[in-house]
Structure 1
Amino acid sequence: MAKGAVMGLRRHFVLPESFRLETWFPAHMFSGMKKMQAKLRSVDCIVEVHDARIPFTGRNRQFNRLLFKGKPNLLFLNKADLAGSLHRRQVAERLANNGEEGEVIFGSFKSSDKRKTCFALMHQLRRAIEGEMRFHREGLAEYNVMIVGIPNVGKSSLINALRECFTDLNVNACRVGRKPGITRSVTSRVRISDRPLIYMFDTPGVLTPEIYVNRRVHPESVLKLGLCECLPDERVGVELLADYLLYFCNRQDRSAYVSQLQLDDTCDDIDRVLRHLAEKEELKKRIVLYGNTETLLDTECAAKKFIQLFRRGHLGDQFLDVDALT
């Protein structure tokens, strides 16, 4: 069946008029970019980390304009295990066609993939730093690498994994978490390799300003970032995220949600889907209205459960940038 051809399914997703994302752009993002620029003179290479599920969505163009020029750089697409391998070759080709200059590395820090990912990263990192002129840093035996990216793509996890693999230090140096915004400043150097001696600067996630300026032109960017947890759920809205997820599944003819939610057929009405899930799971909430307590279906909780099905892989692979490859 052709995408979007089912009768009644939406062909476009439109953000509600009331939607505003400007309320979440922490001050540390503004200061973070300036601090990164201030460190550039002492940096030998830059590693950009992005989410493999959205390799084209949300990448901060300011990195290329303000940080990459004159510096060797790598693009590491993390969480590749969640994106699946089906689109990997097309993604690499499209990135090359778009002018990506550095090496593109796919990987994840899932326990079974961690060692392989770390060695692939270190191999490319050593190639990048050992083959470059260092000018004023030529006489130094150590190398400095800066890691950059948008929020919650795994920058701190990368540092901790490399540190574990290539140093005698087993203690994690960087805090990690599932919520964006854990790292809030450009940290002091962290040793990630003993031979050669390599240090890495962790940096706060910095969102691309384009998703705010053009949000009405490209509304799906915001929702994709939200589904991948690069934006806080509460700022985007879980029911809005669930609605976009339903739209995306229908648009791409992914019907796994029908059996997962025990629906009779595909459906493009998020209210019906969430009410069905809330009834099935007996998700209810109590509210007090004019002094009376009423019990209602908890559709917000149902939305969270639907989103978790996606994030845990129960709806198929999580690659969201399908349209960017067509």
Structure 2
Amino acid sequence: MDERMNIQWYPGHMTKTRRNMEADLKLVDAVCEIVDARIPFSSRNPDIDAICGQKPRMMILNRIDLADPAATDVWQNYWQAQGMTVVRTDCKSRRGIDRFVPAVRSMLAEKLQRYADKGQTGRALKLMIVGIPNVGKSTFINQIAGRKGAKAENRPGVTRGKQWVTVDSGLLLLDTPGILWPKFDDEEVGRRLAYTGAVKDDVLDVETLACHLAAMLWARYPEAMRARYKLDPPEDASGYDLLTEAGRRRGFLLARGEIDTERMARVLLEEYRSCKIGRFTLEDPPERTEACATN
């Protein structure tokens, strides 16, 4: 099975996107970044910190309903230790959405006070909303604004042009145009995005992807994997061994008794994404990565 990642990085496009964002930063009071709570590190563009400079920052940990709650606590502490305001959301169920506006006003309390001191009590706060494709940015904006104005489609590049979204009389959101992909220099970043469905399955070999996912889930959440697939592998079992055993337990057989590992691969990916195995987070904050031998 080919281990190579067939995902392209477009530096020319990203240069334009970055230039536009840097220009738009002058228009806003703070930046709100949305990430997938299952893969908070892999689901962001690493250039964001440099682009945003000293602007106040908010981190939205989205899809918390799919992530490990204990791991989400760790990530929240990590971002807060860096001086960021953190809000945890599940945009589909609107969980956490009501905390956004109060969190913005708390984060920018000093600016609001300066406005009040100048007699500008009604002056609106302006936030730039950023995030890579398929982390739920458009859905988040729609939920916050209580409308269906921004297109929320499961494909990159739908949001086009500069859009100011009115939340209320005191808050405006700038939806950033352009496709802000993460960098795929690290193959593991690309795989984690593929696990969650942020990049299409046909970009990578499905069996190879599922083997890596099986190994990761077994290392991080062995009891959940054992319960779901009745696994009892040897200590040195590979991801392919795990996939094969799971396929055997499910009765996914081909001619001559061979295991249909491709079918099992697709089942594993679907059951991971739909939380049928459990609520899992696939990475730890950077300072904990070396200590986590299973990562």
* TM-score (norm: length of structure 2): 0.78
Whether 1:126 and 2:105 are equivalent positions in the alignment is yes
Aligned equivalents of 2:123 and 2:202: distance in 1?
A: 46
SS at match of 1:208: coil
Query: Which residue does the alignment assign to 2:194?
Result: 226
Alignment counterpart, residue 52 of structure 1, candidates 25, 37, 49: 37
Q: Is the 8 A contact 1:150 1:205 kept in 2?
A: yes
Query: Which residue does the alignment assign to 1:187?
Result: 162
Between the two proteins, the alignment pairs up a number of residues equal to 280
Q: Is the 8 A contact 1:45 1:73 kept in 2?
A: yes
Alignment counterpart, residue 152 of structure 2, candidates 163, 168, 176: 176
Aligned equivalents of 1:245 and 1:70: distance in 2?
A: 37
Query: Which residue does the alignment assign to 2:268?
Result: 306
Q: What's the CA shift for 1:47?
A: 0.3
RMSD between aligned residues = 3.4
Aligned equivalents of 1:107 and 1:323: distance in 2?
A: 19
Aligned equivalents of 1:151 and 1:283: distance in 2?
A: 37
Alignment counterpart, residue 46 of structure 2, candidates 36, 45, 61: 61
Whether 1:103 and 2:85 are equivalent positions in the alignment is yes
Q: Deviation digits for residues 30-85 of structure 1, max 9, x if unmatched?
A: 4322222222222222101111112233532311111x223222111111121132
Which ranges in structure 2 are unaligned for 5 or more consecutive residues?
none
Q: What's the CA shift for 1:283?
A: 7.7
Q: Deviation digits for residues 142-196 of structure 1, max 9, x if unmatched?
A: 33321112221111111000011xxxxx4x11222344x14354432222x2232
Q: What's the CA shift for 1:322?
A: 4.2
Aligned equivalents of 1:118 and 1:150: distance in 2?
A: 19
Q: 1:261 to 1:207 in 2, by over 3 A?
A: same
In terms of mean alpha carbon deviation, does 219-228 or 311-320 score higher?
219-228
Q: Is the 8 A contact 1:187 1:201 kept in 2?
A: yes
Which ranges in structure 1 are unaligned for 5 or more consecutive residues?
1-15, 165-169, 286-295
Structure whose residues are more often helix by fraction: 2
Aligned equivalents of 2:9 and 2:266: distance in 1?
A: 20
Percent identical: 23
Q: Is the 8 A contact 2:162 2:174 kept in 1?
A: no
In terms of mean alpha carbon deviation, does 273-282 or 230-239 score higher?
273-282
SS at match of 1:33: helix
SS at match of 2:25: helix
Aligned equivalents of 1:73 and 1:323: distance in 2?
A: 18
Whether 1:156 and 2:141 are equivalent positions in the alignment is no
Query: Which residue does the alignment assign to 1:207?
Result: 181
Aligned equivalents of 1:118 and 1:58: distance in 2?
A: 20
* TM-score (norm: length of structure 1): 0.72
Q: Which runs of 4+ in 1 moved over 4 A?
A: 24-30, 262-267, 269-285
Whether 1:37 and 2:19 are equivalent positions in the alignment is no
Aligned equivalents of 2:49 and 2:98: distance in 1?
A: 25
Q: 1:257 to 1:25 in 2, by over 3 A?
A: farther
